[in-house]
A and B are shown apart, each in its own frame.
Chain A
Amino acid sequence: MSQRVGIIGFGQTYHRSRRDDVTGIELINEAVRSALEDAELTIKDIDAVVIGNMDHFEAVNYVDTWSVDGSGAWMKPLIKLTTGGTTGSTLGIAGYHHAASGLFDVVLVIGWEKNSESDTTGAIITCSDPIFDRFSFSGALPGLAVEASAYIKRYGITEEDAARVAVRDRTHGANNPYAQLQTPVTVEEVMKSPMLSWPIKLLDICPRSDGAAAVIFAGERKARQMCPQPAWVHSTAVRHSHAYFCDVNYEELHTLEGAVRELYDHVGIKEPLKELDVVELYQPYSFAGLKWIEAMGLCKPGESPRLIWDGATDMGGELPFNPSGGVICTNCIGATGLLRIGEAALQVMGRAAGRQVPDVNLALATGFGGAYWSDLMLLGRRPW
């Protein structure tokens, strides 16, 4: 009964630091309508809905039922998923599984967040173990900062190297009318921005956004009927690790290494730098844009600064990263991983407008969250 699956539509809101003009339900509806319009479908064409966001971020408990008036899930099968930072990528993978199973042909996947409605750090703290972990690293920043600290000590990486990554994504974000931050910054501006948790400065890290994303997955027969160029799902991979922050291996992002190894082997990728055409990396802070591309096998450990300074990951470079501006320009957390998938799909479909990379055959989208968890989805122009 299983079937091949393609993405046939993508919609998103214009992401902002706050959207007081809409409720969460209405925000969700904007993305859903945008995705339906993109795919030239109506809600009647949708067989099942998958939705998710971060626990405790809006203090709404049964988000699946609460949001039915906006999601279009009225009288349809509906499920909520939430896995922390990986929520958006989990949603995408679950949407793919729903369609791939053959039990549903057209599946609407929605990720959303109104970060403006809570204290983000306070809400994230509730994910940590209350006996041992909650008093210390809890919240996103310090855990990332110790990762960066270990990495730069080991390889002699500089803060300027990381700043150059932030400059790339902020430059790309200026091409994306949906991004929250659309103004480029310079290395000097990143270096002079306020220190938050050494070595992470304000312009190294993602903002907090209000926004939603919706992606429509379809089984092969419907995808061919409904869409001239679907973005076909080639492979996915997921790695979760320990939950205590102290158990994380800070020298390598071993979850990403494990996930890419499985994915590359599955589809036969030998030289990812050459064979991939674009990457939407869930990169919540600039140092990750160095260390994690090493975990992806694009270069040897410690050699990523050369790729970054040479412009290999810029638009027009050998393997452009984050044409959308990525997480550093927009971070509506429950939507963030799904935005990576949607943006990667646009690249494959040739519909990314001012942020389009020419001739994309293979696009990789990643998710990140929890205690350094990694998700991947590889999309391609031809069915796998």
Chain B
Amino acid sequence: MTTSPEEHIIYDGRIKMPYTWAAGKTSSYFLTQLRDYGRLWGTRCPDCAMVYMPPRKNCPRCVVTDTTWVELPPRGVLETFTVVHFSEPSLQPMEPPYIYGIVRLDGADTGLTHLVSEIEPNRLRSGMRMEAAFKKLEQRRGEITDLLYFRPEGGGRQ
């Protein structure tokens, strides 16, 4: 009998799989309006009157008939934020420090999570008025990042 040396074999593996995700009719309308016109739309529940942003086809709370469209202004209130100081280049290409905030657009009942820019982190306050900055028309792809970031209303530092 020949013997092998004691060894623990370890295999490298990677699950490589193609996926597609259909945005569906509701989100597709939101995304094409954002891409083509820089407009933001929420949805209102016919039952409880909640206005959702991003839009929901159905009210998650009432589970009744479809919601209806309501256009929202590209302005609102910074509800909360964080300044990120670590780097995760494979997932988030932004150079730290960068700012995530949740902005509730005027007329909406839920906030939109996005980047906040054109402001020094130490000047950020919850409750600040914010406005949306959009990518240039030719750079928009029908993605939520066609909205570039939020900045202080009236323009932040460049």
Contact = CB atoms under 8 A, between A and B. Distances in A.
Interface of A: 18-23, 26, 29, 32-33, 36, 42-43, 56, 58-59, 68-70, 72, 74, 114, 116-119, 122-123, 126, 130-131
Given A21-B25, A59-B17, A59-B21, 20 more contacts: A20-B22, A21-B24, A22-B25, A26-B58, A29-B58, A29-B63, A36-B63, A58-B21, A59-B19, A69-B58, A70-B58, A72-B60, A72-B63, A74-B61, A116-B22, A117-B22, A118-B17, A118-B20, A122-B18, A130-B11
Given A22-B24, A118-B18, A119-B17, A29 B11 contact: no
Contact of A32 (B18, B23, B63): B63
Contacts of A56: 15, 17
A42 B17 CA distance: 39
B39 to A, nearest CB: 21
Contacts of A130: 11, 13
Interface string B50-79: 000000111011111000000000000000
A22 B63 contact: no
B60 A22 contact: no
B20 A69 contact: no
Nearest 6 A-B pairs (CB), nearest first?
A69-B60, A43-B63, A72-B63, A23-B24, A20-B22, A22-B24
B50 to A, nearest CB: 11
Nearest to A20: B22
B26 A26 contact: yes
B145 interface: no
B62 A117 contact: no
A70 B60 CA distance: 6
Chain B contact patch, size range: 20 to 34
7 contacts: A21-B24, A59-B19, A59-B21, A68-B60, A69-B56, A122-B18, A130-B11
B15 A126 contact: yes
Contact of A74 (B11, B15, B26, B60): B60
B63 A131 contact: no
Contacts of A43: 61-63
Interface string B6-50: 000001010101111111111100000000000000000000000
A226 B108 CA distance: 37
Given A20-B24, A21-B24, A21-B25, A58 B19 contact: yes
Contact of B24 (A26, A59, A119, A126): A26
Interface of B: 11, 13, 15, 17-27, 56-58, 60-64
A165 B19 CA distance: 33
Given A29-B63, A70-B60, A131 B11 contact: yes
A75 to B, nearest CB: 8
A59 B16 CA distance: 11
Contacts of B64: 33, 42
Nearest to A26: B57
B13 A42 contact: no
A67 B9 CA distance: 39
Contacts of A23: 21-24, 27, 57
Given A23-B27, A29-B58, A56-B15, A117 B21 contact: yes
A118 B19 contact: yes
A49 to B, nearest CB: 11
Contacts of B27: 23
For B23, B56, B63, which residue has the most chain A Cβ atoms within 10 angstroms? Answer: B63
Contact of B63 (A33, A117, A119, A122): A33
Contacts of B23: 23
A18 B20 CA distance: 11
